[in-house]
Amino acid sequence: MALRDILILPDKRLRLVSHPVDTIDRDVKTLVDDMFETMYRVRGIGLAAVQVGVPKRVVTLDVARRENEEEQQNPRVFINPQVVWSSDELSVYEEGCLSIPEINEDVERPAQVKIRYLDLDGKPQEADAEGLFATCIQHEIDHLNGILFIDHISKLKRDRIVKKFTKAAKRAREDA
């Protein structure tokens, strides 16, 4: 296992649409292991492969510890996940993102979704999601489609955030 660098806004690779995984081989399993190590190191609850520079449709999640700090880890892997149903009922959750650090905004999404995906053994699975799980899996599937959570907020707020991160990236390049 190895830590991977997380891409930070305004990195253009965050806007890539990820490719489906055709074969779950050793490389994919290594990617998943690395994603969990990276996600846990920065205390995240979800990570899409594209956030570590690999545009494949792979997501790691662990919302258990966020809901209850005493609870054990409950790592979950979703390969080629897709939302196949979403509720008309919406919910608002304050979202953040490892690729847009220290920014949190309220985002409205369907309160419940049904997803289809492959597990790490390549077996088709379905899951019903609600609450934090529903929010998080939708957020990560958005990443696989080149969509960031800030795309769900007002243009004014989004533009301010992008400008802030673009300036910070420019300063970092100048200082390097």
We report the CATH number of the domain holding residue 155 as 3.90.45.10
CA distances to 45, 46, 66, 76, 140 from 73, in Å: 10, 13, 10, 10, 19
Look-up of token digits 């939708």: 138
Which band of pLDDT confidence, cut at 50, 70 and 90, is reported for residue 106? very high
Is 83 inside any structural domain? yes
Is 148 inside any structural domain? yes
Is 103 inside any structural domain? yes
Q: How far apart are the first and last CA of the chain?
A: 29
Is 3 inside any structural domain? no
Report phi then psi at 162, rounded to 5. Answer: -60, -45
Q: What is the pTM of this model?
A: 0.94
- Name residue 45's amino acid: I
Share of the chain above pLDDT 90, in %: 90
How many Å apart are CA 47 and CA 99, to the nearest integer? 9
Is 2 inside any structural domain? no
pLDDT in tens, 77-95: 999 999 999 999 999 999 9
Mean pLDDT of all residues belonging to the chain: 94
Considering its fold, how many domains does the chain have in total?
1
Range of the domain at 39: 12-175
Is 7 inside any structural domain? no
Is 95 inside any structural domain? yes
Q: Are 141 and 109 in contact (CB under 8 A)?
A: no
Is 4 inside any structural domain? no
Q: Long-range contacts: 27-32, Cβ < 8 Å, 24+? A: 28/56, 28/58, 28/79, 29/120, 30/1, 31/56, 31/58, 32/58, 32/60, 32/77, 32/120
Catalytic residue numbers read: 140
Whether the pLDDT of residue 69 is over 70: the answer is: no
